Amino acid sequence: MTFATQPNASHFVNGAYLEDTAGTPLEVIYPATGAVIATLHEATPQVLDQAIAGAQAAQRHWARLSGMERGRVLRRAADIMRDRNHDLSVLETYDTGKPLQETLVADATSGADALEYFGSIAAGLTGEHIQLSGGDWAYTIREPLGVCAGLGAWNYPTQIACWKAAPALACGNAMVFKPSETTPLSALKVAEILIEAGAPAGLFNVVQGAGGVGGPLVADPRIAKVSLTGSVPTGRKVYASAAEGMKHVTMELGGKSPLIVFDDASIEDAVSGAILGNFYSSGQVCSNGTRVFVHRAIKEAFLARLAERTAKAVIGDPLDEATSFGPMVSETQLQIVLGYIEKGRAEGGRLVCGGNRIDKPGSWIEPTVFADVTDDMTIAREEIFGPVLSVLDFDEEDDVIARANATDYGLSAGVYTRDLQRAHRVIARLEAGSCFINSYNDAPVEVPFGGVKASGVGRENSKAAIAHYSQLKSVYVRMGETEAPF
Ligand code: NDP
């Protein structure tokens, strides 16, 4: 192995690496080979306490800086991330197994975009002046919340850390971030870079561990806000715990999103959208369009082209830039996906391609397409979080909209059609937070991202995120005498 993956220590607290070997060992596995590439330790209660206390102290100082000063640090961090994109991408590939072809363009680069965007708008964050009758007036002050807890999923470790840290820090908060125990490496680099960019020690801390660390972090009374990217069941637990302390929350949870392909669509583009929305990151993307509703008139042509193009996936060494399809993040996730494929077969789905574990070390599975899937099948109802694409038939617009909405989830939705009026009409009726017309899964930082229904609460990215990392103080100013009834 030519790349050093073992970090200096498990945690990053108060501006420096910190180790406490009393914590349960945490093996980091390269999913492409199954090799152990690092061994970290879960945070002990002492480490967690130091991280939260350090964040509290740093936040008091950070909040007193102007937005301009805070923004400068974030923009410097964005530049450093871009300069180191190659090394960070290699690390992300080791951490997640995602091909370098992807990590070079979708991870540290997306993190840098978030740091640059929120660094750029930090100076413009203000309250407002409100003129009232009789010459009285009021003003609002946009205040930080305090110390925020960030909890990350394993699919986009660098991106998730930055999507949470950048708006939080821009608003004057500090953060204690807990990556997924499956992918603990990249967030440590984000912490290092922020320090190098001039962030005060303690402003962004990383503690390792599973739910046993995340739980106490969320429940700690010093935490003012919790932002989770994870599954719906975890979201329910974390939201309930945050509610006990009346804390702010952002919940970016799972989905079972519809991608609707009408009979006038460009089949080539729609197949591209379906591939992007099911096989990128080996299907481990929350917003994936896993229920692909295809109009019956073009269904066979769509399936034929989809199978042809799926056969062109380059499945190989993720560190080779020619590879376009990598392993699942872990053996556990692989087994979950294989279980769903088995259910798809047993419940009557027609396997068009894939469906098998790939016989080599690591957690590899073929990109898989099922046709003739019906709404009641398990693979059409539950989030799989793997490369399993289900094609469902439809004939009528009203019917497909009703079926697309018949789910507890509401993260994303997509429509492929050349009829612009239909595109907007259908999107307006779909119950989803992040939607696409003749495209799928674009997530630029300028655009709000998040779900409705069980898929989440709040929005990440864009100016909308500011509302979720700050609070308004209203100040009423009377210019005349104070009147009282007695
Ligand atoms: P999990 O819900 O299992 O975990 C998310 C994070 O929460 C992890 O860091 C996890 O720690 C931690 N955690 C688990 N239990 C608790 C608890 N009781 N208290 C506090 N923290 C806890 O998600 P996965 O990591 O398995 O990621 C997959 C899920 O994430 C999918 O459902 C996917 O749809 C969703 N997701 C949503 C996205 C969005 O933006 N909407 C984006 C990406 C993924 P650990 O894992 O270390 O135990």
Give dist(CA 63, CA 85) in Å, integer. Answer: 30
Distance 37 CA to ligand 1 centre (A): 22
From 180, 453, 457, give the residue whose CB has the most ligand 1 atoms within 8 Å, as the site to mutate.
Answer: 180
Residue nearest to atom 14 of ligand 1 (CA): 211
* Single-letter residue type at 361: P
Q: Whose Cα sits closest to atom 21 in ligand 1?
A: 214
Ligand 1 center from residue 150 Cα (angstroms): 11
Q: Residue 260 belongs to what H/E stretch?
A: strand 258-261
- For residue 215, give the ligand 1 atom closest to its CA: 19
CA–centroid distance, 233 to ligand 1, in Å, is 9
CATH class entry, domain 258-437: alpha beta
What is the domain partition of the chain in residue ranges? 11-254+455-473, 258-437
Q: Are 284 and 386 in contact (CB under 8 A)?
A: yes
Q: Pairing state of beta strands 11-13 and 16-18?
A: antiparallel
Residue 312 neighbours by CB distance under 10 Å: 9
Radius of gyration of the chain (CA): 24
Q: Which two tokens stand for residue 27?
A: 């093996």
The model's pTM is 0.97
451 near 411, Cβ under 8 Å? yes
Q: Report DSSP letters for 290-341, one per residue.
A: -EEEEEGGGHHHHHHHHHHHHTT--BS-TTSTT--B---S-HHHHHHHHHHH
Question: Is residue 25 packed enough to be buried (19+ CB in 10 Å), middle (13-18) or exposed (0-12)?
Answer: exposed
Tell me the two tokens of residue 190: 């984000």
d(CA 294, CA 33) in angstroms, rounded, equals 37
Position 267 scores a pLDDT of: 98
**Is the distance from the beta carbon of residue 211 to the nearest atom of ligand 1 less than 6 Å?**
yes
The answer, yes or no, to whether any atom of ligand 1 lies below 6 A from the CB of 215, is yes
Backbone angles phi, psi at 223, to 5 degrees: -90, 130
Residues 6+ apart with CB under 8 A from 225: 145, 146, 148, 149, 168, 173, 247, 248, 249, 250, 468, 469
Residue ranges of E strands in 360-454: 368-371, 388-394, 412-416, 434-437
Tokens of 74: 């974030």
Among 154, 176, 220, 229, which residue has the most ligand 1 atoms within 8 Å of its CB, making it the best to mutate? 229
d(CA 438, CA 51): 45
> Which residues are known catalytic residues?
252
Q: Please name the residue whose Cα sits nearest to atom 1 of ligand 1.
A: 230
Q: Whose CA is nearest to atom 32 of ligand 1?
A: 231
Cα distance between residue 236 and residue 257, in whole Å: 20
pLDDT at residue 3, as a whole number? 63
**Is the CB of 231 within 6 Å of ligand 1?**
yes
Instruction: Decide: 178 and 69 in contact? Cβ < 8 Å.
Output: no
pLDDT digits (tens, 9 = 90+) for 64-90: 999 999 999 999 999 999 999 999 999
Tell me phi and psi for residue 142, to 5 degrees.
-85, 110
Does ligand 1 have an atom closer than 6 angstroms to the CB of 370? no
DSSP 328-377: -S-HHHHHHHHHHHHHHHHTTPEEEE--SB-SSSSS-B--EEEES--TTS
How many of the other CB atoms lie within 10 Å of CB of 132?
A: 12
* Tens digit of each residue's pLDDT, the chain (486 residues): 446 688 999 999 999 999 999 999 999 999 999 999 999 999 999 999 999 999 999 999 999 999 999 999 999 999 999 999 999 999 999 999 999 999 999 999 999 999 999 999 999 999 999 999 999 999 999 999 999 999 999 999 999 999 999 999 999 999 999 999 999 999 999 999 999 999 999 999 999 999 899 999 999 999 999 999 999 999 999 999 999 999 999 999 999 999 999 999 999 999 999 999 999 999 999 999 999 999 999 999 999 999 999 999 999 999 999 999 999 999 999 999 999 999 999 999 999 999 999 999 999 999 999 999 999 999 999 999 999 999 999 999 999 999 999 999 999 999 999 999 999 999 999 999 999 999 999 999 999 999 999 999 999 999 999 999 999 999 999 999 999 999
- Altogether, the residues listed in the chain come to a count of 486
Q: Is 253 in the pocket of ligand 1 (CB under 6 A)?
A: yes
**Structural element, H or E, at residue 25:** strand 25-30
Q: Is the shortest distance between the CB of 208 and ligand 1 below 6 Å?
A: no
Interhelix angle 67-83/108-121, nearest 10 degrees: 160
Helices (H) and strands (E) in the chain, counts: 16, 20
pLDDT tens digit sequence for 415-474: 999 999 999 999 999 999 999 999 999 999 999 999 999 999 999 999 999 999 999 999
Q: How many CB atoms lie within 10 A of CB 350?
A: 13
Paired residues of 227 in beta bridges: 150, 250
Q: Which atom of ligand 1 is nearest to the CA of 178?
A: 9
CATH top-level class of 11-254+455-473 = alpha beta
